[in-house]
Homo-oligomer: A and B are copies of this chain.
Amino acid sequence: MARYAIGLDYGTNSVRAIIVDVRNGGEVATAVWGYSHGKEGVILSRDPNLARQHPADYLTGAEITIRQALANARRTLKGFRPADVIGIGVDTTGSTPLPVDREGIPLAFDKKFAHEPAAMAWLWKDHTGVHEAQEITALARKIRPQYLAKCGGTYSSEWFFSKILHCLRTSPKVFRAAYTWVEIADWIPAMLTGTQRPDRLSIGVCAAGHKAMFNARWGGYPDKAFLGRLDKAMGQLRDRLRPVARTVAQPAGRLTAEWAAKTGLPPGIPVAVGAFDAHLGGVGAGIAPGTLVKIIGTSTCDMMVAPAGKPLADIPGLCGIVPGSILPGFYGLEAGQSAVGDIFNWFVNYVQPHGKAGTHENLSAEAAKLSPGESGLLALDWNNGNRTILVDQRLTGLLIGQTLYTTPAEIYRALVEATAFGALTIINRFEEYGVKVRQVVNCGGIAEKNPLVMQVYADVTGRPMKISRSAQTCALGAAIAGAVVAGKKAGGYANFAAARKAMTALKKTVFTPNAKAHAVYKELYSLYRRLHDAFGLPDGTDRLHDVMKKLIDIRNKARK
């Protein structure tokens, strides 16, 4: 008998609901809704570091997309019944914390704060807390080095406490009005299950462990004394944070009658504890030891797991090493690039080369005709900072090698190559610390739709690039969590290993590296690493005089 699980996937610009056949992981129906606030769902300001979202979009989005997905399933699948949906999983961007009141209701829903950006959700890519991140890092280095060892040695401006502290410093009214702060990965399942009150709330170990220095070893969140050294009010906030964090194998609660009525789903079905998109994307792509899952979207997350039983070195520059953050029983390892699709989007949408003719499709097609090295260009993929391995948000983009004849397609390809070099740097870092990468599975829109990007990644890394069968691995991973929390009795699964075998697969298409291209990219990568180290490392000293000339030599060879 058919049973279904729903995955709710909250992205940067839109939310997607998918309905998945629990027996084989097949996608039965889907629906997407673009957030209504800001520019494509993101509230911006003159400050390029600011990026917020309105939490009303999360609720409206759940209602619209679940209803629409159910309607689509009924239309396309004979005999489909909403009553056969047995569980829900939720994944979101993060760290995206949201200030809420004593009842767990966002301050943004209060008229007083309706137009106050500080009262909104602080989107993952909001970097306004750069100075606060430096302050937290400096304090932890001094008095709690163990906190940093699990998050790459540097606390990021993208993360929970940097954002909250920045709010305290710059919007004290909002900070004072907030009872506590909740990751949207936790808040959304809580709203669906009526468990949003801060004293009933289930929080996920994924968000807490990777972004808020939560670790059972030191009793959960950073201790009160530590937070109090940042600001007395931060120490007081510690008392209102949750003491325990859960994995996605546990339910946050059961769907309320109100949400059942709104969506058409059966009331009482379990909703899994939430996790970040990339982590559940790893699950949806079939993550297992040795498999690097790359979720390539606006930014990239590079996920691996390692058995929690064996010792594992702290890997410098990795965003996080958290037991249970991806799969129960395994360390979740998260690396990533702060911008990938966002860099291509910047070029197309902001620079608008060739005006309306400069689409991703046209530029990719033109760029695909070029040989590695022939443009003479080299770029750093740092338009949004560098997450792994430098963990530095105050890095910016760089393009070198322009002539008077440099074309947009050449620049576009150089930007694609730059993200590939960034990807290689991450793979190398994993392996340098003993986490062997045996296969690379890509997912996300770019992996699906842009063969140029995948071929360049294969050629740059010298490794085959495989693609997850599902086009929506994050949403699929969320649905898998829904199937696991529903349990075997209800028609779901007893654990994630069983669910992975049944519900995930790879595409037949594999992008294999071209040896000649790889050879050129080896040369280019050595120049990339020199620029990377010169501009990225505090103690990087290099003679750069030959960089432009080497690019010209490579170009001339490539053109022959």
Contact = CB atoms under 8 A, between A and B. Distances in A.
A313 interface: no
B548 A543 contact: no
A189 interface: no
A541 to B, nearest CB: 5
B397 A384 contact: no
A402 interface: yes
Contact of A404 (B383, B402, B545, B559): B383
A549 B402 contact: no
A495 interface: no
Contacts of A538: 543, 545
Contacts of A356: 355
Interface residues of A, number: 56
A547 B535 contact: yes
A395 B339 contact: no
A294 to B, nearest CB: 20
B535 A403 contact: no
A544 interface: yes
A540 interface: yes
A106 to B, nearest CB: 26
A260 interface: no
A346 interface: yes
A551 B382 CA distance: 14
Contacts of A539: 543, 545
A399 interface: yes
Among A343, A394, A397, A539, the one with the most B-chain Cβ atoms within 10 Å of its Cβ is A397
B559 A46 contact: yes
A54 to B, nearest CB: 20
Interface stretch (A81-89, A246-254, A406-414): A406-414
Interface in A21-53: 44, 46-48
Contact of A351 (B351, B535, B543): B351
A559 B401 contact: no
Contact of A543 (B384, B402, B540): B540
B402 A399 contact: yes
A428 interface: no
A146 interface: no
Nearest to A398: B400
A534 B531 CA distance: 11
A552 interface: yes
A328 interface: no
7 contacts: A346-B404, A346-B406, A350-B406, A376-B396, A384-B404, A398-B398, A536-B545
Given A384-B403, A397-B399, A534-B545, 9 more contacts: A44-B405, A346-B406, A352-B408, A383-B404, A398-B399, A536-B545, A539-B543, A541-B542, A541-B543
The 10 closest A-B pairs by CB, nearest first: A355-B355, A397-B402, A48-B405, A396-B401, A346-B404, A398-B400, A534-B544, A396-B548, A399-B399, A352-B354
